[in-house]
Amino acid sequence: MSQRLRRAVLVACSATAVLGLAACGPDNANPSATAAAPAASAGTASSAGTAPATAPAPGPAAGTAALPNGNKLNAMLLPASALPQKLKLDPSGTKSTGNGFNPPLSPSAVPAPKACDMLNGTGWISAAGINAASFAQNDYTDESQDMFAQELDAYRGNDAQTVMANLQKALTACHTFTVAQNGQNYTATVALQSLPGVGDEALQAVITSPDWTGGSTLVAARVGSVVVTTYDNDQSNTGTAGVALTKTLVKNAASVH
């Protein structure tokens, strides 16, 4: 019998821009993190005299009057006391937009192969291709590479509904996809289902492979204009314990949204 691989954790940066922070790059600790999520950019101003005058772009706060900023979203995240004691906060995975907001950007469709890669990491909401107005996230890990990552993203207008629809499309399209890890390719399978009664709408996806031990459970739930996403990677099972944690996180978001 061939040796079964331990499921490696892929820590991907959020696709949303982090105000005041440098853009995230590829995860150097894991060779399988082949496509880091692009950081949103406010664009580059044209030099005087090289382009016709245009109306100024909307400021970062445009359309955010009713949205929570990164600090408020951060306060909704589950505290360490709510997670299994073996998991410890990873400071490198703690990010938010703080008191500010990201500027509005046009949606950017994510090619299917890249979307599948994004599903195998903590910033998997990047597969939706929609820039959030604000966000907060953190990761909890242990020495065995088990992980629970949580993220809250607030969106302008109807973008939150579009994010949920795009995530479902990506998860459906990536029912079977290839993961490159340690110089080899492995076939992963996504089992997708809805989660009735969780927020305004919710879905759950379990990613497994016959060559991995354990697996990962991804949950996305919308609460009004806020989308809750979690990534639970477990070496001994498929991370379904993360579903209960996500339901508590959704209640936190609903209580203040």
Backbone φ/ψ region at 27: left (φ over 0), alpha (ψ -120 to 50), beta:
beta
State the pLDDT at residue 48. 34
Is residue 203 scored above 70 in pLDDT?
Answer: yes
Q: What is the mean pLDDT of the chain?
A: 80
Tokens of 256: 């203040």
Q: How many domains does the chain have?
A: 1
Q: Which residue has the higher pLDDT, 62 or 58?
A: 62
Measured between alpha carbons, how far is 24 from 122 in angstroms, rounded to an integer?
13
Which residue is associated with the tokens 């490159």? 180
Q: What is the pLDDT of residues 131-143, one digit of tens each?
A: 999 999 999 999 9
Q: Three-state SS for 232?
A: strand
In a domain, 63, yes or no: no
- Alpha-carbon distances, residue 254 vs 41, 136, 150, 228, 244 (angstroms): 30, 16, 16, 10, 15
pLDDT of 124-133, one tens digit each?
Answer: 999 999 999 9
Q: In what order do the strands lie in the sheet with 88-96?
A: 88-96, 134-141, 147-154, 226-234, 215-223, 201-208, 184-194, 176-181
Split at pLDDT 50, 70, 90, the class of 183 is confident
Q: What is the pLDDT of residue 130?
A: 97
Quick one: tokens of 232?
């639970």
More confident position, 38 or 209:
209
- The boundaries of the domain holding residue 149 are 5-39+68-256
Asked if the structure places residue 49 within a domain, the reply is: no
CA distance 18 to 138: 13
Give pTM, 2 decimals. Answer: 0.79
pLDDT, residue 90, reads 95
Report percent pLDDT > 90 for the chain: 62
Q: What is the mean pLDDT of residues 149-157?
A: 97
Contacts 24+ apart (CB under 8 A), 241-245: 241/84, 242/148, 242/217, 243/195, 243/204, 243/217, 243/219, 245/78, 245/82, 245/83, 245/148, 245/150
Residue 44 lies in a domain: no
User: Taking residues 46-57, what's their average pLDDT?
Assistant: 41
- Is residue 192 within 8 Å of 169, Cβ to Cβ? no
Q: Which range in 54-63, 102-111, 124-133 is most confidently predicted, on average pLDDT?
A: 124-133
Q: Is residue 130 part of a domain?
A: yes
CATH of residue 231's domain is 3.40.1000.70
Does residue 11 sit within a domain?
yes
Which range, of 34-43, 49-58, 160-169, averages the lowest pLDDT?
34-43
In a domain? residue 106: yes
Closest CA to 150 of 139, 134, 135: 139
